[in-house]
Amino acid sequence: MAMLKYRDALRLAIKEEMERDPLVFCIGEGIGERGGSYKVTDQLYKQFGPGRVIDTPISEASFVGMAAGAAIVGNRPIVEILFVDFACLAMDQVINQAAKYHFMSGGQGFVPMVLRTQGGAGNSLAAQHSQSLEALFYHIPGLKLVMPSTPYDAKGLLKSSIRDSDPVVFIEHKLLYMTEGEVPEQEYLIPLGKADVKREGTDVTLVTYSHMTLKCLEAAERLAAEGVEAEVIDLRTLVPMDRDCILASVKKTGKLVIVHEACKRGGIGGDIAAMVVEEAFFDLDRPPVRIAGKNTPIPFSLNLEKLCVPSVDDIVEAVRSLG
């Protein structure tokens, strides 16, 4: 095992896949000699050159469309969009083209493209650079959606995403890039659609993903000191979602708290709660609880920003309210 930062685990995954498959290439703004704003592609330009690490103009619609076309003819592009907020500029290319091509070609065509981007609040980047927009992509048939929380998961899931035949939206939280964790030195893959039980428990199920996984684990430790054992499920991939893992945990604990940073209204938590009520109603001792971001744009003020997203205290209080 090696201790790696989240961003370094991502870089290693890209490097290994580019070495393994000459059809893999990177494209995006400032990812070449500058190494990307979050340094995920640092040094890749020196190894692979401008033909496979391609700097683009500031035009998301053009280079996402270019990547989709390249994928259709057999390449495996990794597109980097600096903020998930900017993905809105390429929604036609992602939603109407990449997501639909396999279906509209009668299953004959594929779009093996990974769209890497980062989202979430943190660092006072204000309303246009701090959104959690995963529910937009979650809603679209034909897209896969990955949101890892640890360096280990980030590397294994990115490698699997690059090898997948479908377009994958891969969202990295801005506050995770400098977090560290153990990563095997030998090659490994993590299959898409497989959740991870980050902490086992018997009293309540916490379902979460991305940066909120860290907060749920901290909340679980505090609850354990009170005699409450929380099971923390990190979904890792939202599409496909590991429904069996969620349902098995709820059957064991009888209580469900869903935690995500995105706005509560129209959030993925509502879909998870509905699924559990529809398929495991009689396993529940209490109605599911959702802990989510406020239905407001993210303020520039760091103090106000913190009030807009779930805290460890919010999670602990939600569990306590279940009795």
Residues labelled catalytic? 129
User: Cα–Cα distance between 210 and 120 in angstroms, integer?
Assistant: 9
Omega prior to 240 cis, within 30 of 0: yes
Q: Do the beta carbons of residue 82 and residue 108 sit within 8 Å?
A: no
CA 295 to chain centre: 20
Identity of residue 45: Y
